[in-house]
Amino acid sequence: MQVTLRFHGHAIEYVPGGQETLTVDVPAGQTLRQILTTIGIQPQLFAAVVVGGHRRDLEYVPEPGDEVMLLSPAAGG
């Protein structure tokens, strides 16, 4: 199935190729953490996950066609 990952914030520089959007083919049933690890992105880089306007976390299992927003952590203060 296909899932679109949209990266936001300064952690984008660590996404291979510095791309803001990646569409990946993944087997169903994988968590976001597993998907990110498979494509070589450190899952811990992202502080928040938003799917369809709802807050999720890295244990979220995407559904086909999901657009997943991954947000970088911000520095406090």
Partner 1 sequence: MTIGGYAGKILRVNLTDGSWSTEKTSEELIRRFLGGRGFCAKMLYDELEPDVDPLGPENKVVIAPGPMTGLFLPSSGKVHMASKSPATGGYGDSNMGGHFGAEIKYAGYDAVVIEGAAKRPCYLVVEDDRVELRDASTWWGKGSFETEKELKQRLGEEFQIATIGPAGENVVRYACITHDFGRQAGRTGVGCVWGAKKLKAIAVRGTRSVPLADVRGALRKGRQMFEACFSKPGFKEWTPYGTAGVTDWINEIGAFPTKNFWTGYFEHYKNINGQALRERILVTDKGCFACPTPCGKYSRVREAQRCCYVEGPEYETIAMVGGNCLLDRIEDIAYANYLMDDLGIDTISGGNVIAFALECFEKGLITEEEAGRKLAFGDLDSVLYLARKIAYREGIGRILADGVKAAAERIGGGSERFAIHVKGLEWSGYESRYAPAMMLAYMTADIGAHHNRAWAITHDVAVGRDAIEGKAAKVIELQHIRPLFDTLGLCRLPWVEIGFELEHYAEMFPLVTGLDYTWEDLLLISERIWNVVRCFNVRHIPGFGRSWDYPPARFYEEPVPTGPAKGKLISRETLDRLLDDYYALRGWDKNGIPTPDKLRQLGLEELAADLQRRKA
Binding residues for partner 1 (CB under 8 A): 6, 8-12, 14, 42, 44-45, 47-48, 50, 69, 71-77
Nearest approach, Cβ of 55 to partner 1 (angstroms)?
Answer: 8
Least distance in Å: CB of 28 to partner 1?
Answer: 25
Judge contact between 8 and 73, C-beta under 8 A: no
Give the Cβ contact number of residue 42 at 10 Å.
Answer: 11
Could you tell me how far CA 54 lies from the centroid of its own chain? 14
Smallest distance, Å, CB 45 to partner 1? 5
